[in-house]
A and B are shown apart, each in its own frame.
Chain A
Amino acid sequence: MRRLLAGLLAVLVLAGCTARPADRPAPAALAGGAATLPGPVPADLALRPPPGDAPAAPAFTGGLTDGTPLTAARLWADRPVVFTFFSSWCTTCADRQDALSELARRHRDRVVFVGVAGADQADELQDYLRTHRVEYPVVVDEQQTVWRSYAVREPPAVVLVAKGGALLRGWPGGLDAAALEQRLGELVLAGSG
């Protein structure tokens, strides 16, 4: 009987050691990490056909802010993708980011926004993403290899890729949200341009 009680006690103690106390919050997900990846494509998504002579967008795989790998071609396999090249220290990026974040929310799952952060510090990047409510995936491009593959020399820059991977347009110097929304209507979203 004593052995049985000792065993029960040991199990209870171990359970107490491994369970998370009810008042301790779960660690917050990093902004720009896996939790921001898009959901299924809406069934009613209607797209314009890309021009036949458009070049292929450079394919890449990069790590998100939480290390989750992101393969660009998997995203553009079933919907258009907007790449926003930026840095947390970029003043023009910050000036436009709130409206771009809102535009991305409005088009969530229909057009995927992906941030590509270069020449940045992890803590400053997180501050930027939270301050500007960036709720889409963000690739950390520390050595600017993705930047270079898209000929981005400084932030901001925006690139639009059609479903299937055709490189539609790039805007060195970036675009504000209103101009980008107009371009999305003209170039990819059927019935809205």
Chain B
Amino acid sequence: MRLTTSARHGVGALAILLLAGAAGCGGPDAGPEAVTPTTVRVLVRDINIRAEGVDCAGTGPYLYFHHRAPFRVLDPDGAALVTGTLPAGTAVAAFDEDLGVERVPTYCEFAVPVQVPQRAGYRLEVAGRPALDLTPDTSEGPALVAVVPA
């Protein structure tokens, strides 16, 4: 089989492209990105009257923070690093004061164990609502925390 000059050039270019592609496929494998375990903590400051320690959801405008609500942890570019659903929240006392009654003003705290790759920042999106900034915090172990309303 005889090839014209231009055809030979074309075949040469194709061979180079194939070799480059093969080199790309067979090169050093980056592998899965390293991730670090941490806990996403969200404190919904709704000051609702509850018994301390009971399961809770956010109230009023924050009712979308509830058990089974879908969430995503995003990186600064908006890429989803983790997706899941929230567990039930836990009622925590809003004020460090013994009021002498069972039901007291509380906030509703959500804690979700996650594993995230290293990024310059993280955001939390719940139920498709605008994302919240997450701030690193180590006061109770590694965590990314948000307070609502900020």
Complex CA gap A89/B49 in Å reads 20
Residues of chain A within 8 A of B66, CB atoms compared:
87, 89-90, 119
Contact with A along B50-73 (1 / 0, CB 8 A): 110011111110011011110000
Number of CB contacts from chain A to chain B under 8 A: 39
Is B74 on the interface with A (CB-CB < 8 A)? no
The answer to whether B50 and A173 touch across the interface, beta carbons within 8 angstroms, is yes
The answer to whether A119 and B63 touch across the interface, beta carbons within 8 angstroms, is yes
Indicate the size class of the contact surface on chain B.
20 to 34
The answer to whether A154 and B57 touch across the interface, beta carbons within 8 angstroms, is yes
The answer to whether B59 and A173 touch across the interface, beta carbons within 8 angstroms, is no
Q: Specify the chain B residue showing the minimal Cβ separation from A144.
A: B63
Is B146 on the interface with A (CB-CB < 8 A)? no
Complex CA gap A90/B46 in Å reads 17
Residues of chain A within 8 A of B59, CB atoms compared:
153-154
Complex CA gap A155/B56 in Å reads 8
Is A71 on the interface with B (CB-CB < 8 A)? no
Report the minimum CB–CB distance from B52 to chain A (whole Å): 12
Residues of chain A within 8 A of B55, CB atoms compared:
90-92
The DSSP consensus for interface residues of chain A is: loop
Residues of chain B within 8 A of A90, CB atoms compared:
55, 57, 66-67
Q: How many residues of A contact B (CB 8 A)?
A: 14
The answer to whether A89 and B63 touch across the interface, beta carbons within 8 angstroms, is no
The DSSP consensus for interface residues of chain B is: loop
Is A170 on the interface with B (CB-CB < 8 A)? no
The answer to whether B88 and A153 touch across the interface, beta carbons within 8 angstroms, is no
The answer to whether A154 and B54 touch across the interface, beta carbons within 8 angstroms, is no
Residues of chain A within 8 A of B8, CB atoms compared:
none
Residues of chain B within 8 A of A154, CB atoms compared:
48, 56-59, 63
Q: Which of B46, B51, B64, B88 contacts A173 (CB 8 A)?
A: B51
Q: Which of A89, A153, A155, A173 contacts B68 (CB 8 A)?
A: A89
Is A63 on the interface with B (CB-CB < 8 A)? no
Report the minimum CB–CB distance from A145 to chain B (whole Å): 13
Is B9 on the interface with A (CB-CB < 8 A)? no
Complex CA gap A153/B57 in Å reads 9
Between-chain CB contacts (< 8 Å), 8 pairs: A89-B69, A90-B67, A92-B54, A119-B64, A153-B46, A154-B57, A154-B59, A173-B54
The 3 A-B residue pairs with the shortest CB-CB distance in the complex, in nearest-first order: A153-B59, A89-B68, A89-B67
Having A124-B68, A153-B60, A173-B103, one finds 16 other A-B pairs with CB under 8 Å, namely A89-B57, A89-B66, A90-B66, A90-B67, A91-B88, A119-B63, A119-B64, A153-B48, A153-B59, A154-B56, A154-B57, A154-B58, A154-B59, A154-B63, A172-B49, A173-B50
